[in-house]
Structure 1
Amino acid sequence: MKKGRLSSLDAFRGITIAGMILVNNPGSWKHVYAPLQHAEWHGWTPTDLVFPFFLFIVGASVSLALSKRMARGDSLPSLYFKIFSRSLILFALGIFLRLLFRFDFENLRIPGVLQRIAICYLLSALIFTKVGTRGRLVIFLFILMAYYLILKFVPVPGYGPGVMAFEGNLCGYIDVKLLGGHLYKPTFDPEGILSTFPAIATTLIGTLTGDWLRSSKKVLQKTTGLFIAGIVMIGSGLLLHPHFPINKQLWTSTFVLFTSGAALVLLGLCFLLMDGIGFKKWAYPFLVLGTNAIFVYAGSIVMAKLLVLIKVSTGQGTLTLQAFIYKNLLVPLFGNLNGSLLFALLFILLWIAGMIPFYRNRIFIKI
């Protein structure tokens, strides 16, 4: 491994990527356990933690990586070139994966997961190069408060202010006005324009966490700080939930608080076990995934598309390769729900096995 690499952060990233694959690749979307589905609107499930966890990790990585470059004297123009080029590649990769095997510009969905990662990385990294820890904390709090005030008091034509329902909320209104038919749904996109701003706040809290982890404090102090901050943020999100609901699709300020708090607690646990106690063996599969996270995520999307495109002839007709594996191999042995879950777990195991040679040979594909 690269000298100075924080193994607990790599493991946390790997856990998050495994979670992404798990929730995105069931054997059948008709048979999915409730915790592996997103909340319909307000509220949360474990699945709703996955994406904010990744953005949080992006922020922590920004702090760890850029601080090293700045300490060794890299010029700001060279840093900006790296930041902008990486952001552009991530955004373009998201568009490419959307068009892959279905080249349809007319109905192309412009927002997306990688596109949001690109924007959050870009702005958080630029802020990091110019603003210190306290300043970023102020920006974080300002975004949360401003977003709350905007959603609560800016009126939507035909609906008025403060609408938090699927129909009539300000996020959807802005998306339709600016992006038209290039959305996930006709009137809304969960990775839309306005909700990207609080997602940047999620990434900024990650940069603050990175600052804390690279400080000179002892392991126990760092771990305690992560746990305390995490519990306070979780509690704040839950306390404010009745007034400003936790909602992933709107990426509400309470959602930022709650999910960032959960990320702090889980990272604190990984940090204590791995960088504190030195107990790392359990995390090997996650390190394998976490050190090539974007490559694994993008590759899993390509593989999922191929499993649907490849057709298999049966006595009753033609099935996609995914449906064939699920219906003919897994359902007879494990039933609908467990078979669907096992399909996703096998998908993860396949990627772990495929990435082991990369990890052993220290091949880290940087995007």
Structure 2
Amino acid sequence: MNQPLTSSRLASLDALRGFDMLMISGGGAFIHSLGGKTNISFIDAIAAQFHHPAWDGFTFYDFIFPLFLFMAGVSLAFSLKSALEKGVPQSELRKKLFKRMLILFFFGLLDKNAPLDIFDPAHIRYGTVLGRIGIATFLVALLYMNTNWKQQLYTAIGILVLYYAGLMLISVGSYGGGDLTFEGNLAGWVDRTFMPGRLKQKTYDELALSTQLPATCLTIFGCLIGQLLQTPSTSSFKLQRLMVFGGIGIATGLVWGVVFPVNKHLWSSSFILLTGGMACLMIALFYWLIDIRNYTRWAFFFKVIGMNSLVIYLACRFVNFGETSRLLFAGLYSHTTEKWHEVFNALGGLILVWLVLYVMYRHKIFVKV
């Protein structure tokens, strides 16, 4: 059990990515729909964790996208190490990653602006989930290829400290430094001043220019964990480090949150450390169960999703699985109490999503960018 793991690909990473994509592609909405249906307080409490707070605060649903950014960094460390060991020139890798960034940016525009009107750029939302992932992985790849792990860690810490200092010390119009309100924060001012197009929240956009660097720190932290997982150390040593780093991240994020509130909209430094620590613990759990203990059967469900994460993300945007579920299953669940209809319909949509991905998996169709 404690022998070094030498596989270039860890099964736990695909499974965890699948778990994350399940939450993004309807799993979170399904769990949220259970709220108030069962009269069981425990289930209601879990359902309440699957919506975003209006401003400050934190729920488990806030963790889903940061986990994906973190996982992107872990995967990046594996793919770059493999490519460099095969003798692929850094210049070629940079071109490939730059092209990937542009492709993800374009898909992100389609996702957030469909139907996309390229002749009305003032009303296009340029801040997107996929664009953020593409930019973060490109920047972290450049960092990985030109620095060592210590320099990468110091870069992330430096960004988080400077981001905190900027929001606390720089005044915005009539608002003083340290104003972290919806209207008065520095990040929102940067978005309004420099970001072209439409901002989601009008006065700012949580996926726009200002919060890209702190969000990228999650990918840096993920890349560092990816490097740890590829060391020749024993699996028990790696597991211990994952748990230690997870605990440090969570504790530091909560303490920092006293003066710099945990806030997904601002991608506050405390939010980055809290979610980064949680990501470490999630990887530790999946790594222990799948790669160390070899409990793999239960993970197949998630692996099917994780192997085609981009497909399912875009499919859930452009294919109405909910309507298909209604057409196929409403004849069955219509005989239940009406308040349960949305729950069963959401469950039917999830089943359809998984079956599509399963067919792709069985035919070895994996779409990568």
The answer to whether residue 19 in structure 2 is matched with residue 4 in structure 1 is no
Identity rate, percent = 31
The answer to whether residue 151 in structure 2 is matched with residue 147 in structure 1 is no
Q: How does 1:199-210 map to 2 (within 5 A)?
A: 199-210=215-226
Q: Which residue of 2 aligns with 1:266?
A: 282
Q: Which residue of 2 aligns with 1:54?
A: 68
The answer to whether residue 363 in structure 2 is matched with residue 347 in structure 1 is no
Q: How many residues align?
A: 351
- Shift in Å at residue 325 of structure 1? 8.6
Q: Which residue of 1 aligns with 2:336?
A: 333
Q: 1:233 to 1:335 in 2, by over 3 A?
A: farther
1:71 & 1:28 partners in 2: Cα distance? 45
TM-score, with normalisation over the residues of structure 2? 0.88
2:327 & 2:287 partners in 1: Cα distance? 41
- Shift in Å at residue 23 of structure 1? 6.2
- Cα deviations by residue, 1:287-319 (Å, 9 ceiling, x for unpaired): 001011111111111114x86xxxxxxxxxxxx
- Which secondary structure does the structure 2 equivalent of 1:344 belong to? helix
Q: How does 1:75-86 map to 2 (within 5 A)?
A: 75-86=89-100
2:331 & 2:55 partners in 1: Cα distance? 34
Q: Which residue of 2 aligns with 1:96?
A: 110
1:27 & 1:50 partners in 2: Cα distance? 14
- Shift in Å at residue 120 of structure 1? 0.8
- Shift in Å at residue 116 of structure 1? 0.8
- Shift in Å at residue 349 of structure 1? 2.1
Q: Which residue of 2 aligns with 1:122?
A: 138
AA aligned opposite 1:52: P
Could you tell me which of 209, 226, 244 is aligned with 1:193?
209
CA contact (8 A) 1:212 1:222 kept: yes
CA contact (8 A) 1:21 1:347 kept: no
Could you tell me which of 212, 218, 221 is aligned with 2:228?
212
Q: How does 1:1-367 map to 2 (within 5 A)?
A: 4-22=8-26, 33-101=47-115, 103=117, 105-179=121-195, 181-304=197-320, 333-336=336-339, 338-367=340-369
1:331 & 1:246 partners in 2: Cα distance? 42
- Shift in Å at residue 24 of structure 1? 6.9
2:288 & 2:31 partners in 1: Cα distance? 35
Q: 1:324 to 1:169 in 2, by over 3 A?
A: farther
State which drifts further: 86-95 or 234-243. Answer: 234-243
Q: 1:180 to 1:75 in 2, by over 3 A?
A: closer
- Shift in Å at residue 327 of structure 1? 9.0
- Shift in Å at residue 359 of structure 1? 1.8
CA contact (8 A) 1:21 1:297 kept: yes
Q: Which residue of 2 aligns with 1:311?
A: none
- Shift in Å at residue 334 of structure 1? 4.9
Q: 1:335 to 1:49 in 2, by over 3 A?
A: farther
CA contact (8 A) 2:104 2:134 kept: yes
- Which secondary structure does the structure 1 equivalent of 2:49 belong to? helix
Q: 1:331 to 1:255 in 2, by over 3 A?
A: farther
- Shift in Å at residue 16 of structure 1? 0.4
CA contact (8 A) 2:304 2:358 kept: yes
RMSD: 2.6
CA contact (8 A) 2:32 2:50 kept: no
- Which secondary structure does the structure 2 equivalent of 1:357 belong to? helix
